[in-house]
Chain A
Amino acid sequence: MSTATETVTHESTEHGESHGASDKQYIVIALILAVLTAIEVSTYYVDFGPLFLPTLFVLMIVKFVIVVSYFMHLKFDNKLFSYLFYSGLILAVSVYVGALATFKFFLS
């Protein structure tokens, strides 16, 4: 028997920490994203040599995770959301990388 009587919270209640960041922090995150994008774009102008692909991949993943974790709140929300979303993502990557592998895509 459920004994919990939840206090229903309404929209006007402050939810500072459960919403992750303040407006100012969001702007800082956006600036970080802008800097990362600038570095990405710089690979077009500057020769990164063998670091070209790794840099781009790392930057892509970092930007992805930042937007998902902070802007989409996943870091501060119930873990169930993370499991649901990341399982879709990991499944997609696995399955499509597998298919591309059969095309010998990664051997070039």
Chain B
Amino acid sequence: MAIIERPSTEVAVPGTPTVVKPSEALGVFKRPAATSSWKDWLVTVDHKKLGIMYGVAAFFFFIVGGLEAVLIRLQLMGPEGKVLSADQYNQMFTMHATTMVFLFVMPMAAAFANYFVPLQIGARDVAFPRINAFGFWCFLFGGIFLNTSWFLGGAADGGWFMYAPNSSTLFSPTHGIDFWVLGLQITGIASLTGSINLIVTILNMRAPGMKLMRMPIFTWMVLVVQFLLLFAIPVITVALFLLSFQRSFDATFFDVAAGADPLLWQHLFWIFGHPEVYILILPSFGIVSEIIPVFSKKPLFGYPIVALSGAAIGFVGWGVWAHHMFASGLGPVSVAVFSLATMAIAVPTGVKIVNWVMTMWGGKLTFATPMLFAIGLVVQFTIGGLSGVTHSVAPSDTQQTDTYYIVAHFHYVLFGGAIFGLFAGFYYWWPKMFRKQLNETLGKWNFWLMVVGMNMTFGPMHILGLQGQPRRMQVWTEARAGEGFFNLGFWNMIASLGSLILSLGILFFIINVVYTHKSKKVAIAPLDPWDARSLEWMTANPPVEHNFDSIPTIDHLDEFFHRKYEQDPNTHEIKQVASAEEVLADMNAHPDEHIHMPSRSYWPILVALALPIICYGLIYNRMLMAVGAAFLLLTMFGWAMEPATAPDDDFDPPASGEDGGHTKELAPLG
């Protein structure tokens, strides 16, 4: 799994960076060479390209999940809705949630993490680039595999938490849940390998001088998320195996007649599921922690506290899972313990809110679209967090659980929180990735339509829930809708209209992207359009393949800011001493002499391809499964054999006598 480097066949020209290209003499088959065609994307191991691929795929699934949501809302818009039958409705809410959680938010966060973490820490790529590519293809193939269930007898219909024994073949005989189980196993492999990759990258590949407490805060949050993934994915893996063994091989794990306890599934699922919600929100917390300081022209208030509270949330998050099970018959002692733990976790989250607000306080605020979305997160996540605190009180949760009040809570934190954070990231980082800034006017339309739409959709759900509308309810009738202010029909209609406004808002985003890139009038963005603070802005637009001509040495938190601005020691005035262009030119004046980059490879996509083949075989034809397994074995051997005899790993020190940037790659610990 080491990064493979071939001996260079080029002569180093002093003064210019030498990018070492792989020689072609070694290996089982010829290794793919660089090309600018679409094929390059199939064999790339470049973290930036992979980030873009994650982003495009995730956005596609966002639209899919959004359409599923709109269908749900259309069904509930009027009394006795005829848009979806009960069976279709079950599939719709199951797939909506599954798609949004596993195929949109998680991979979109991965897109940002992949693109920006190496840049933010001053690295040239991640620790295991081929595994990175493999992870992407696993996600893509797993997501596609999961969605083919729509056309193959029906999608999963047990709810995204798939409670057993309701999810057994007795109650759900189509293959939908088998597709769900196996699809999530495949995407789980992507998450697990990605987490190992990013943890090693962040711990091991920081630029010289970049101590952990000098890392950009987004990278900190990503690091915490990777640890959560690392430890949470295996737990759902166990649950998924138990369920698939029951469904496919008649194991008895959730067979109550055989003495099984249905709570086993719930524990396993929620031990994963609770850390999972922190996995969903922390990257967005990281994004807005980057944006708010830039648009307040102030450093992040309490950076160490923000970093450590993220870690605290990650840690305490393991102790609260059974708050999803308050009404399941756990017994008063368990309920009390988990209720208290859940109240505790509000503290580090609240700390972050305080830090963001204090960053803005006294700052010179500008309200470009990234900042609007960031503030949107702060406000809306707070609302969602407050309803969350009410859930932590077990007696009141007993009324709230399984009602629309819960639906309101998690959509406020997930849509108003996580998704608004991702949109903030889109607008903030777009010029760095794609050389153009998204249009501000369209951006404001995008933002405000989303705010109005979101609050109109999910605000009324607090009322609906407390008035007794249960979750997963397929249809409502006038007779039972109640009267006056709390008429359920009225608020359902408002919510459905809100969802249409929300969809319009998202459409404005798509229009913005198309306009920005199609219009001849939009200028190329400057290097540093927002006057940012962190290292990823100290690159070209977009960054060159090797990221940095010379790896910078880091002397401060917010290193980029400190290279542009200095504080006068007498007057304490902060003055600009260099523009972004000057900083970059200065850095590139002495490029590293030997830049070793990881080589392209077709093994990641091939190994990933074996997995859905095995899974289709498991569902339909055991022979196909054997073929898939053989293919897996062969492609894994091919990967391991690549290349033949390169004696040096990438990033190894050069032989003595060569100097250049290499001794600078070791950062002191701390």
Contact = CB atoms under 8 A, between A and B. Distances in A.
Q: Touch between A and B in complex, CB under 8 Å? A: yes
Interface string A1-35: 11011101000000000000000000000000000
A99 interface: yes
Interface string A96-108: 0011011110000
Contacts of A5: 663
Nearest to A2: B208
Contact of B209 (A2, A98, A99): A2
B271 A6 contact: no
A46 interface: no
A90 to B, nearest CB: 11
Contacts of A102: 263, 267, 322, 330-331, 334
Contacts of B668: 2, 4
B664 A91 contact: no
A99 B263 CA distance: 10
Contacts of A91: 231, 318
Contacts of A80: 203
B318 A8 contact: no
Interface string B394-426: 000000000000000000000000000000000
Given A4-B668, A91-B231, A91-B318, A99 B271 contact: yes
Given A91-B318, A102-B330, A2 B663 contact: yes
In this complex, the interface size class of chain A, counting residues with CB under 8 Å from chain B, is 10 to 19
* Consensus secondary structure, chain A interface: helix
Interface in B507-553: 553
Contacts of A4: 663, 666, 668
B468 interface: no
Contacts of B271: 95, 99
Contact of B267 (A8, A94, A99, A104): A99
B564 to A, nearest CB: 20
Interface in A37-54: none
Nearest to B235: A95
A103 B663 contact: no
A76 to B, nearest CB: 18
A102 B271 CA distance: 13
B263 A103 contact: yes
B35 to A, nearest CB: 35
Contacts of A1: 208-209, 553, 664
Contacts of A94: 318
Interface in A59-108: 80, 88, 91-92, 94-95, 98-99, 101-104
Contacts of B235: 95
Interface string B637-662: 00000000000000001000000000
Nearest to A5: B663
B250 interface: no
B463 interface: no
Contacts of B261: 103
B391 to A, nearest CB: 19
Interface residues of B, number: 24
A13 to B, nearest CB: 15
Contacts of B318: 91, 94-95
A60 to B, nearest CB: 21
A94 B553 CA distance: 41
B653 A88 contact: no
A59 B318 CA distance: 29
Nearest to B325: A102
B485 to A, nearest CB: 40
Interface string B334-364: 1000000000000000000000000000000
B667 A2 contact: yes
A88 B668 CA distance: 26
Given A99-B267, A102-B267, A88 B231 contact: yes
B551 to A, nearest CB: 11
Nearest to A78: B669
A77 B553 CA distance: 28
Among A98, A101, A102, A104, which residue has the most Cβ atoms of chain B within 10 A?
A102
Interface in B251-310: 261, 263, 267-268, 271
Nearest to B267: A99
Contacts of A104: 331
Nearest to B328: A102
A13 B185 CA distance: 44
A6 B322 contact: no
A100 to B, nearest CB: 9
A1 B209 CA distance: 6
Contacts of B203: 80
A6 B267 CA distance: 49
Contacts of A92: 231
A103 B264 CA distance: 9
B330 to A, nearest CB: 5
A44 to B, nearest CB: 27
Nearest to A95: B271
A91 B319 CA distance: 10
Nearest to B656: A8
Contacts of A99: 267-268, 271
A4 B667 CA distance: 9
A95 B653 CA distance: 43
Nearest to A92: B231
Given A2-B666, A2-B668, A88-B230, 4 more contacts: A4-B668, A8-B653, A102-B322, A103-B261
19 contacts: A1-B664, A2-B208, A2-B667, A5-B663, A6-B663, A8-B653, A80-B203, A88-B230, A91-B231, A92-B231, A95-B235, A102-B263, A102-B267, A102-B330, A102-B331, A102-B334, A103-B261, A103-B263, A104-B331
Closest 10 CB pairs of A and B: A2-B208, A99-B267, A102-B334, A8-B653, A1-B553, A102-B330, A5-B663, A95-B271, A2-B666, A91-B231
